[in-house]
Amino acid sequence: MNDYVNITIDDRKIKARAGEKLLWVALDNDIYIPHLCAVREKERSNASCRLCFVEIEGMARPVTSCTQVVREEMVVRTRSTRIDRLVKTAFELLLSDHNLSCRECPANGNCELQKIAKERGLKLRQKRFKAIERDHTVDDSPDEFAFDPSRCVLCGRCIWADREEAGVGAIGFANRGINSVITTFEGVSLAESICTQCKLCVEACPVGAFYYKKDKKA
């Protein structure tokens, strides 16, 4: 068995570690593919944000690059009419449920959504979908950080950090469908929960839903 495979992404020949997922190979080679939910260390990606679509020669449908293992001679396109349409829709759908107030947002300038918009020439202020109205409250009970669910894109990276990196288990998904949220047991504040305030969730959050309080920024 070879340790490396040769693949082509957007006409570039790339040597990739066998068994690696396409998304990471692309990113390692400075080919940007939009993504929110993927965690490199996670064996089975959530594949929930639906942003990292690519087209692979010989496959009828676009596939998510976070789930696709590289294979010898694989020919990949990160852009096409079909891909761009899907990514645009997914992105705009996420924004229709995202509190877009970048100027007040601590993640401004360091936000994955802004990055996707810039890389793909998409507008943050999308007009296709009406903004979904929510009744969210900010949980600023921890000493140094806070959680604003109105910015949350439900990528689940904070939960991964809480479980796998911190080994705590204070937060998780609750409810279902459109009412899905990231929350504590019974929805109590983080300070009242078993959260150890290790802040790994803040580091993991790509969009400023978990953020450092202004005066406490590390």
Q: Which is nearer to other proteins, 8 or 48 (CB)?
A: 48
Q: Which is nearer to other proteins, 78 or 183 (CB)?
A: 183
Q: Nearest approach, Cβ of 212 to other proteins (angstroms)?
A: 23
Q: Nearest approach, Cβ of 143 to other proteins (angstroms)?
A: 21
Q: Which is nearer to other proteins, 50 or 199 (CB)?
A: 50
Residues found near other proteins in the complex (CB under 8 A): 44-51, 53, 61-62, 64, 67, 82, 85-86, 89-90, 93-94, 96-97, 128-130, 132, 154, 163, 169-180, 183-187, 193-194
Q: Nearest approach, Cβ of 12 to other proteins (angstroms)?
A: 26
User: What gap in Å lies between CA 4 and CA 22, rounded to an integer?
Assistant: 13
Q: Nearest approach, Cβ of 86 to other proteins (angstroms)?
A: 5
Q: Which is nearer to other proteins, 68 or 106 (CB)?
A: 68
Instruction: Identify whether the C-beta of residue 81 lies closer than 8 Å to the C-beta of residue 70.
Output: no
Instruction: Identify whether the C-beta of residue 34 lies closer than 8 Å to the C-beta of residue 51.
Output: yes
Q: Nearest approach, Cβ of 7 to other proteins (angstroms)?
A: 18
∠ CA 107-172-163, rounded to 5°: 85
3-state secondary structure the chain: CCCEEEEEECCEEEEEECCCEHHHHHHHCCCCCCCCCCCCCCCCCCCCCCCCEEEECCCCCCEECCCCECCCCCEEECCCHHHHHHHHHHHHHHHHCCCCCHHHCCCCCCCHHHHHHHHHCCCCCCCCCCCCCCCCCCECCCCCEEECHHHCCCCCHHHHHHHHHCCCCCCEEECCHHHCEEECHHHCCCCCCCCCCCCHHHHHCCCCCEEECHHHCC
Q: Which is nearer to other proteins, 31 or 88 (CB)?
A: 88
Q: Which is nearer to other proteins, 78 or 106 (CB)?
A: 78
Q: Nearest approach, Cβ of 16 to other proteins (angstroms)?
A: 19
